[in-house]
């Protein structure tokens, strides 16, 4: 019983850390890591940017308003 509880706790903590790390990914952070823009799309989620480095591909969605000082990354996800 205790072993199962420890295992479940470890799994929950690792999932939380992955989610937090994914939340920190931005278009700028990926470009700083050597990713290049592979394409762009329009979607209901907003403008999307595909960034690629070797065989790893991310899609990021961005947002802007006329009053905003810059275009901001809403979120990025790896494409599998």
pLDDT exceeds cutoff 60 at 38 = yes
Domain span at residue 51 reads 2-79
Percent of the chain surpassing pLDDT 90: 61
pLDDT of residue 65: 86
- Work out the average pLDDT over 38-67: 95
pLDDT of residue 39: 97
**Backbone phi, then psi, for 37, in 5-degree steps?**
-75, 125
Tell me the pLDDT band of 22, cut-offs 50, 70 and 90.
low
Spatial separation of the C-alpha atoms in residues 79 and 72, rounded to whole Å? 20
Domain count within the chain: 1
Owner of token pair 């850390």 = 17
pTM as predicted: 0.68
- Work out the average pLDDT over 48-60: 97
């Amino acid at each position: 019983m205790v072993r199962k509880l420890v295992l479940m706790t470890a799994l929950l903590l690792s999932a939380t850390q992955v989610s937090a790390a994914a939340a920190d990914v931005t278009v700028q952070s990926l470009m700083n890591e050597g990713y290049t823009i592979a394409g762009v799309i329009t979607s209901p989620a907003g403008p999307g940017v595909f960034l690629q480095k070797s065989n790893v591909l991310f899609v990021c969605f961005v947002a802007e308003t006329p009053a905003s000082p810059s275009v901001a990354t809403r979120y990025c996800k790896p494409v599998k």
